Amino acid sequence: MGRRTRGTGPNRTGPFEASEYGPPLATHGWTCSDEVAATAGRQADGGYALFMNSHTPDALPAGLANASGWWLRSLDRIERSELADPAIRVLQRGIRALPLGEARGLLRGGPLGHPLHPVLVDVPIGCWLSAAILDVAPTDRRAPAILTAVGLAGAAPAAVTGWVDWADLPPEQARVGLVHAATNVAAIALYTASLARRLRGHSAKARLWSMCGLAVVAAGGALGGHVAYRRVG
């Protein structure tokens, strides 16, 4: 990537100057020269292009290839769309301005050496997937309700760490990340509706809301995976 430098001079210190190998260098107290940033960006784009060229849908069955092509084109449109950029800039500035102190490093997974968000999302996803399995298996009907509730509780810390990470993303990833967040909000709403139906004894409607929520979670997870991959080039 080139040598990281501190100090003054023609350095880049804004929120979007990260290479796609990770968050902006300024986040860690570093700055990066224009030349180094440009080189890192070209390397990252080249790696992404190499990956995409080696994973084309041509070798897939026709139906899956069509679905893959539609998905990748949709992601490309989201990445290129500047429609939400004003809102993204305001949100990112607001999150970065929060007086989190040393907690920011913890929320970003500093002690782990990698982001904390992917670890925490296992809790709601695991609980909700388990609830869906128990919904179709002969078991105590209280178990899916408990799992749904635990998943909703686990979604809160996962969301907090996700927003902290998102605040430092460059534009293309931030655009996809915002859609990822929107799908997660929709999933939480669906699972909240499911839990309300379970508590009222309406198991059939609860299962319907739960299955819809799981489908939305799957889509959100695919979007999150794309954001994570684009961050590492």
pLDDT in tens, 76-96: 999 999 999 999 999 999 999
Residue 56 pLDDT exceeds 60? no
DSSP H or E segment with residue 11: strand 11-12
Size of the chain in residues: 233
CB of 5 within 8 A of CB of 11?
yes
Query: Per-residue pLDDT for 58 more than 90?
Result: no
Report the first-to-last Cα separation within the chain, whole angstroms: 12
Average pLDDT of the residues in 10-20: 39
Contact by Cβ (8 Å): 184, 159: yes
User: How far is Cα 2 from Cα 121, in angstroms, rounded to an integer?
Assistant: 33
Give the DSSP H or E segment for 217: helix 203-232
Q: Name the amino acid, one letter, at 228.
A: A
Indicate the SS3 state at residue 17.
Answer: coil
Average pLDDT over residues 209-225: 96
